[in-house]
Structure 1
Amino acid sequence: MSQNSENPIKDKSILIIDDQKSFQQLLKGMLIQLGANNVSFYDSGEAALNKIDKDSVDLVFIDYNLGQGRNGKQFLEELKYLNKLSRHSISILVTGESTRSVVLSVLEIEPDDYLIKPFSSGMLKTRLSKLSNKKKLFFDANQAIEDGQLEAAVQIYLKIAKDRPRNAQFCYKRVCQIYFDLGQYQNAFELLGNILATARPTWALTYMAQTCMFLAQYDKAIRICDELLGQNRFNIDALDIKALCLNHIDQGKESLFLIEQSCNISPHSFARQKTFAEIAQANNDLEALIKAHGTLLAMSKGTAFAHIDYQFNYIRAMFSQLHLANSKEEKADLSNQIKGSLRQAQNDPTVTEQHALFKEFNTFCEARLSVSEGDFLDAKKMIAPYIAEQSLSSSVLPDSVMALFDLGEFDDANAQLEKYKGLNECDGQTLKQLQERNESLANHQTEFEQHNVRGIELYKQGDFQNAIEQFEMALKYAPMNTGSALNLLQALLQLLPRANQAADVILEKCRSNFRLVEGMALPRQHAKRLEDLKFEYNKLAKLYSQSN
């Protein structure tokens, strides 16, 4: 809203978002009575979203219950995320409910105000007048933030706090938020320390707990959270901060309990659900991880938060559970869930927009499903072109690593893992999961490498029979390893002319191992080896056939 205005709503652009025509008309009537002359309506957040521009709305009323789809709190969260509202605009959430969960949910998104139905024209006038005066008071601070001048905004807020003690609490909150944005946690610590030296208001305790968490003073942050929860066990900020601190000091079970409790109290916070997923993954609680990613996927659909990664992460969480499943029934159930999710994902707009990326992801998912069903060869044929051509999108690198580990292609898996480590967008939790999978297979990799290296040594010594045994042992640990399969073929072909009565057995072993590598897109070096080995095999097989 502009800085000068006698009537707080005259000539202001006012938007009402509510799915009830009767309330739209009632509120419009009140606003016109108070001097409004520019009022527009939308029945849903979806309808309003594309119409709202940052400088086109001075005052927006959003009903909490918007029928199907996201509620008013989620829509306001989306408007802020998209930077659709100027800091000079006024946002008011309207609700007919006064339950604890709804009020907490409304306050959490920090609208400029909220109204509980029914309210009178007099109450509306009083609220609008106070909000208009508040925007005037903080106009310069808000403008400094709009212009990216955060240090200047801090000084304006501190001056207002000194000159107008009744507004000091609001100013100090804003200053702390700016300090957090700037990473100036020590400044926040000192400011809050001065305030808490004389009183212990809830807001200051909450900000101090958060500051201590940022400063890695986890025990102190937890003590403050316990003080807050002693005052109000539904304090979701305290629950969130304590959960994060406990996770940092490896008390995962209690951390998960608290963040899930927080999600139950205020279930529509996108940021909180992401925290839930991060804590669940950090503590390897796969059921909680699937639940959190499923909720994030559902909440993101049709919103500005929609992203193909939510599809990927939900399916990845189910694969983690599949990897640890013990019974055939559990494996079959999870496989069916993954297949169903992959089918459903194809109708999602985020997937339609990135069809090529989803095709890559889907290929590696199908390969991993084939491995879980024992079809190693089919799985390898699916992914071989991507690995050979090194044409994989960075978003799907984690899935390629997992699929290659599943197949026992340790060298290729570790090469892909190194690529992922080098990405700027490398996710720390995902990297940790990949490294843990690598570590869990360390014994397999060691055994494979030892047998393969020993086989090469024996081959060089001319001991082809024992070399074959070593390569066969290596393939027990990595059944689809191309390099070891080619090593085995090479040793078999060296032994074939000396085999006499065992020639039929050797030829069958050759045919079996050729099936592991034929028809695949192989790296150039392996492709050339395969071509040479096939030529040698055909020559020896023909000689053996003629001699019999």
Structure 2
Amino acid sequence: MEYRIAIVEDNATARTTLRGHLLPIGHLNVRSFASGVELKSALRKQHFELLLMDYHLGQGKSGVEWIHALREAGYIRPSTGIIFLTSDRSPQAIGRIMDLQPDILLIKPYTIASLTRQIRHYISYRHYADPILKEMDNKQRSNAISLLQKQVREGVPSRLVNDIRKLYARLLYENGEIQRAMNIYDEVLTRSDKVLWAQWGKIRCQYAAGKWPECQSELSTMVHSSLARDRAFEWLASLSFEKKSYGQVEDYLENIKFSELSLSATRMKSIAFQKQNKVVEAIDLFQKKRAMHRSAKDRFNDFTFELAEFYLLLAEESPTTNRRESLSQARKLVGIAGRNQGDRQMLQKRDYLLAFSAILEQDEDKAASLLDEDYMDNYLRTEPSLLVIAAKVHYGLGNEEKANALLLLARQKNEETQAITEQVSNSALIITSGKELGLNHEQAVALNETGTHMFVEKNFLGALKHFYDAFTLSADTAAFGLNLVQCMIEADTAVYRKFSVQSLLSCVAELELTQGNQQRLNQLTLLAQAAAEKKG
């Protein structure tokens, strides 16, 4: 079987050399590209089973940033193999590459023998796991797990055991089987506690299971690792953000060198500033990041669009009569970032931001006219934050049904987002926007119903997540909070995400309660006390 491999390397001589090294290996159809932009254009037309990326791609986005962006936009399939090459031996660069869990990492200068050996190993793994990977690409995770379990029973070749174990843990996690995935990561770490992919896998499982104290403890250790330091601080900041401890968010992100602060971490820090009434500091942060990337068009445009969104947020929170300056700044920035754009995603972002500006100016005709292009209704690759803006635009034009659907799509897409800072920031935006538009309660009811079915089936972990999300979306609905308390008690879970049983009981007690809910609260309080006494 022949596999398609794309080389992405900005140096023409290095591209040619790499191609010459790959062709003799066999089983490879090799194409090469000078930039992430060229790769993205090619991915619109065809799929590659393997991407070979240089880390530094000139002055634009790094190879890591391109892989992240292409994954989030759905250009790269779950099965796509990733190879990274780099001459940068700094812990920050190696750590960011390892965060993506590449299949192969080669440090330049590499030997032809090492490149050949590693790629032949990947091809062997790819051939062995091909039926599983196809099911992954078709989003049939349960089928993929069944096929993998069958292969394990039949005996995995010793040379592929680590690859299959890593794939198995990933599939279990993505399928919501968090504890089983955690067991694999623990097993790997028992053999060696320095396996970075297993360390991060365990942390993701702890986070997904709502075990935030354990998660925070692991992260506090990982900040001392040069390979994991920046990402650990991003995670700690995200946990603080969810607890609305915005001062702590700022403090954690201050530990990351300014030049290394990612786009999503910059956005989170700006929101933390704004929540502390430090609007000037937030704007200054974006302006400094823009200035730093002025010679790199793609990064410069990303930060310019982000600053435009921030100005629109400020305008939205201001009285109608005080919006002019913020809206003027937002439109100016959108014009700069949207100039000479041929990418349909960027065009969609430009036009939705301009349409939202028109809505805030109460110019519905102008907003509606900006929605005429065919790309405006294609949300396949639209990021969650822009889906929220789109929901606000359609709500402002009187289409509540579409606004609700777009918010729901934003929630679903955000669940798949890999970067924790991006996921947490988006989640806060989705919840706040849904509340402003009066659309949260309907989604909360649906989540609560699903959680109730899971609770009856004793799928407590799934039920906890749904009850928590329902109560987060509709925090004045006591029944949702009571369901979460009951599930925590039944699951013997003293702390779930930001709530302890006691803090949640106190939170619900402050709400307006019906007689039935008050009786239920009293019963659950007694049950919680009995459970605590039994443990103590």
TM-score (norm 1): 0.55
Which deviations, in whole Å up to 9, do the C-alpha atoms of 1:293-351 show, x marking residues without a partner?
77699899769x9899857523224547988xxxx9xx999787446425435636367
Length, aligned pairs only: 391
Alignment-derived partner of residue 255 in structure 1: 249
Q: Does 1:347 align with 2:339?
A: yes
Contact 1:290 1:318 in 2 (8 A): no
Q: Does 1:228 align with 2:210?
A: no
Give the deviation of 1:258 after TM superposition: 2.3
Distance 2:399 2:74 in 1: 36
Secondary structure at 1:114 match in 2: strand
Which amino acid in the other structure matches residue 204 of structure 2? Q
Alignment-derived partner of residue 129 in structure 2: 138
Secondary structure at 2:210 match in 1: coil
Give the deviation of 1:214 after TM superposition: 1.9
Q: Does 1:184 align with 2:177?
A: yes
Alignment-derived partner of residue 407 in structure 2: 425
Alignment-derived partner of residue 313 in structure 1: 309
Which deviations, in whole Å up to 9, do the C-alpha atoms of 1:263-316 show, x marking residues without a partner?
758545x5555655666666665456547777699899769x989985752322
Stretch deviating more after TM superposition (310-319 or 95-104): 310-319
Q: How does 1:80-229 map to 2 (within 5 A)?
A: 80-85=71-76, 90-157=81-148, 160=152, 163=156, 168-192=161-185, 200-202=193-195, 203-229=197-223
Distance 2:38 2:279 in 1: 37
Which amino acid in the other structure matches residue 236 of structure 2? K
Secondary structure at 1:134 match in 2: helix
Secondary structure at 1:15 match in 2: strand
Contact 1:363 1:383 in 2 (8 A): yes
Which deviations, in whole Å up to 9, do the C-alpha atoms of 1:234-285 show, x marking residues without a partner?
43443333222223334332233324545758545x5555655666666665
Alignment-derived partner of residue 66 in structure 1: 57
Q: 1:264 to 1:69 in 2, by over 3 A?
A: same
Unaligned runs of 5+ in 2: 377-387, 411-426, 438-536
Q: Percent identity?
A: 13
Distance 1:37 1:204 in 2: 30
Contact 2:60 2:297 in 1 (8 A): no
Distance 1:128 1:354 in 2: 38
Tell me the C-alpha RMSD between the 2 structures. Answer: 5.1
Distance 1:416 1:308 in 2: 29
Q: 1:139 to 1:21 in 2, by over 3 A?
A: same
Contact 2:4 2:49 in 1 (8 A): yes
Stretch deviating more after TM superposition (12-21 or 258-267): 258-267
Contact 2:305 2:337 in 1 (8 A): no
Q: How does 1:140-539 map to 2 (within 5 A)?
A: 140-157=131-148, 160=152, 163=156, 168-192=161-185, 200-202=193-195, 203-232=197-226, 234-259=228-253, 261-262=255-256, 264=258, 266-268=260-262, 286=279, 290=283, 310=306, 313-317=309-313, 319=315, 337-338=329-330, 340-341=332-333, 343-344=335-336, 347=339, 349=341, 357=352, 359-364=354-359, 367=361, 383=363, 395=389, 424-425=406-407, 429-430=428-429
Contact 1:18 1:62 in 2 (8 A): yes
Distance 1:263 1:58 in 2: 35
Q: 1:105 to 1:49 in 2, by over 3 A?
A: same
Q: 1:362 to 1:46 in 2, by over 3 A?
A: same
Alignment-derived partner of residue 507 in structure 2: none
Give the deviation of 1:222 after TM superposition: 0.9
Contact 2:407 2:430 in 1 (8 A): no
Which amino acid in the other structure matches residue 362 of structure 1? S
Contact 2:9 2:15 in 1 (8 A): yes
Q: 1:233 to 1:255 in 2, by over 3 A?
A: farther
Distance 2:403 2:78 in 1: 39
Distance 2:121 2:74 in 1: 24
Distance 1:97 1:435 in 2: 44
Distance 1:233 1:51 in 2: 32
Distance 2:171 2:264 in 1: 19
Which amino acid in the other structure matches residue 246 of structure 2? G
Contact 1:274 1:292 in 2 (8 A): no
Which amino acid in the other structure matches residue 212 of structure 1? Q
Counterpart selection for 2:41 from 43, 50, 55? 50
Taking CA–CA contacts closer than 8 Å with sequence separation of 6 or more, which of the two structures ends up with the larger relative contact order? 2
Secondary structure at 2:106 match in 1: strand
Secondary structure at 1:425 match in 2: helix
Contact 2:52 2:82 in 1 (8 A): yes
Q: 1:72 to 1:41 in 2, by over 3 A?
A: same
Give the deviation of 1:99 after TM superposition: 1.7
